[in-house]
């Protein structure tokens, strides 16, 4: 969808994404994979270069996905000089919840949910694998589990033992529960954003 923007420069069409990006707002609304993570990192890099001191807001409504791709985004978010706010706009699950934890401020809309759990077998044919090959896969899965537990423990203040107990199963949190656990820092109560002095109409 495009909007017609009326300003001192005249009339021009701009996309919703352009308007939001200009306000330093970016989105993850799909599974975490190589493509979505690369696109998100590129957007974050541009915003960091434009102004390393102004807050960036990342809105998340994602079922999660690939750990390696997701941790690349998490690492970049944590390295940014610009303050980062994450907002859950639906369900931030699995790696989506881990990315939510990267925010300095972590807010949820009143009726949204977070879900955290241990990493699981990602598919593929295990038939014909030798015992040492199966063991190597299990060892890698355990290392991934440790990474996820470390992140959740660090960001929530919970002990690793507490986190391990929680992530053993799919654990869902509403906004209030997420704040109590330390996953979220607040609930979005109202929106006071303005689009500036330029006038926008549906195009």
Which position among 69, 117, 159, 171 bears the catalytic label? 117
Q: What whole-number distance in Å separates Cα of residue 128 and Cα of residue 194?
A: 60
Q: What whole-number distance in Å separates Cα of residue 202 and Cα of residue 144?
A: 46
β-strand partners of 174: 113
On the CB side of 40, how many CA atoms lie within 13 Å of its CA?
A: 29
Which position among 37, 94, 111, 132 bears the catalytic label? 94
153 assigned to active site = no
Q: What whole-number distance in Å separates Cα of residue 162 and Cα of residue 164?
A: 5
Q: What whole-number distance in Å separates Cα of residue 2 and Cα of residue 47?
A: 22
- The answer to whether residues 56 and 26 touch, using CB atoms and an 8 Å cutoff, is yes
36 assigned to active site = no
Output the CA–CA distances (angstroms, integers) from residue 27 to 56, 85, 153, 196, in the order listed.
11, 12, 25, 21
Active-site amino acid positions = 94, 117
């Amino acid at each position: 969808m495009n909007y017609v923007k009326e300003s001192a420069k005249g009339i021009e069409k701009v996309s919703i994404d352009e308007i939001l990006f200009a306000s330093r707002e970016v989105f993850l609304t799909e599974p975490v994979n190589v493509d979505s993570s690369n696109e998100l990192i590129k957007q974050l890099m541009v915003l960091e270069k434009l102004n390393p001191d102004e807050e960036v807001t990342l809105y998340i409504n994602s079922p999660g996905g690939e750990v390696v791709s997701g941790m690349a985004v998490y690492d970049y978010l944590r390295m940014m000089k610009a303050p980062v706010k994450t907002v859950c706009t639906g369900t931030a699950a699995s790696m989506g919840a881990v990315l939510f934890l990267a925010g300095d401020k972590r807010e949820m809309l009143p009726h949204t949910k977070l879900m955290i759990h241990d990493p699981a077998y990602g598919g593929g044919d295990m038939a014909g694998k030798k015992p040492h090959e199966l063991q190597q896969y299990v060892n890698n899965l355990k290392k991934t589990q440790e990474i996820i537990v470390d992140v959740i423990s660090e960001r929530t203040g919970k002990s690793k033992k507490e986190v391990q107990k929680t992530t053993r199963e799919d654990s869902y949190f509403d906004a209030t529960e997420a704040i109590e656990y330390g996953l979220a820092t607040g609930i979005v109560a109202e929106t006071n954003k303005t689009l500036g002095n330029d006038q926008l109409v549906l195009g």
